[in-house]
Amino acid sequence: MVAIEQNILAKNDGYAEQNRALLRERRIFALNLVSSPGSGKTTLLVRTIEALRSRCPVTVIEGDQQTANDAERIRATGVPALQINTGKGCHLDAHMVGAALREMKLPQQGFLFIENVGNLVCPAAFDLGEAHKVAILSVTEGEDKPLKYPDMFLAADVMLLNKCDLLPYVRFDVELAVANALRVNPTLAVFQVSAETGQGFDDWLAWLDSGLAALALTAASG
């Protein structure tokens, strides 16, 4: 079983490198959004797109076991979105994303958001060719999640602590949650946000802009 798993992951990594090369060539800053189901990934993405779309092209790939609900919500903002249904599958893989990238009209420079299947376990192991995994943890989920699901918080470079508007109504210790996340991954960048109210979005958007700018510089000098 371990050999089979290594084989699958090695194959995936090969496809991920192809995706990464294509995205670099197009100067597209690609983020892989991972979290539990219901942590607010799509709502967060909609608000992020509304802030970005006037200044820069945005493209979205949506992953879910079933339904095209999320791609429809994204398309309603006016940006192109392609839905991948994984059926029995518990995560997106680089081959699926590669096929989606070939199918979509990718712009020259911009953002690609890949919203993974809601699952705090399996997507951690699969590189899709993204620049960064962004883990979303909502304040209704408990402070212990980074310790219980360390692979994901180690694989991510950013943690968005979402639904901060609900803090007055739930027992949730923000400092403890952040400390737990940093214990697993000391270099994690953490932003406290609310996709519902927009709280904390300035810092998150600034981080996105600086990532895109850095990519453009690298591509120009490369």
x/- binding map, residues 141-160, to a copy of itself, per CB under 8 A?
Answer: xx-xx-xxxxx---------
**Shortest distance (Å) from residue 117 CB to a copy of itself:** 7
110 CB-near residues (< 8 Å, 6+ apart): 27, 28, 29, 56, 57, 58, 59, 212
- Shorter beta-carbon distance to a copy of itself: residue 149 or 191: 149
138 contacts a copy of itself (rule: CB under 8 A): yes
Task: Convert 197-212 to b/e letters by CB count within 10 Å (16 or more is b).
Answer: eeebbeebeebbbebb
- Shorter beta-carbon distance to a copy of itself: residue 104 or 122: 122
210 CB-near residues (< 8 Å, 6+ apart): none
Judged by CB under 8 A, the residue of 140, 199, 200, 207 near a copy of itself is 140
- Shorter beta-carbon distance to a copy of itself: residue 36 or 192: 36
User: What end-to-end distance do the CA atoms of the chain give, in Å?
Assistant: 41
Judged by CB under 8 A, the residue of 10, 88, 108, 175 near a copy of itself is 88
Chain residues 180-219 in contact with a copy of itself, contact rule CB under 8 A: none
Q: Rounded to whole angstroms, how far apart are CA atoms 137 and 129?
A: 22
Judged by CB under 8 A, the residue of 21, 76, 99, 170 near a copy of itself is 170
Judged by CB under 8 A, the residue of 18, 22, 50, 65 near a copy of itself is 65
Beta bridge partners of 121: none
- Shorter beta-carbon distance to a copy of itself: residue 128 or 215: 128
Residue type, 43: T
Q: Rounded to whole angstroms, how far apart are CA atoms 133 and 171?
A: 27
174 contacts a copy of itself (rule: CB under 8 A): no
x/- binding map, residues 108-127, to a copy of itself, per CB under 8 A?
Answer: ---------xxxxxx--x--
93 contacts a copy of itself (rule: CB under 8 A): no
Helix, strand or coil for residue 88? coil
**Shortest distance (Å) from residue 138 CB to a copy of itself:** 7
Q: From the CB of residue 48, how many other CB atoms can be counted at a distance below 10 Å? A: 23
Q: Rounded to whole angstroms, how far apart are CA atoms 129 and 12?
A: 10
**Residue among 203, 27, 29 nearest 130 (CA):** 29
* Interacting residues with a copy of itself (CB under 8 A): 4, 36-39, 64-67, 69, 88-90, 117-122, 125, 138, 140-142, 144-145, 147-151, 163, 166, 169-170
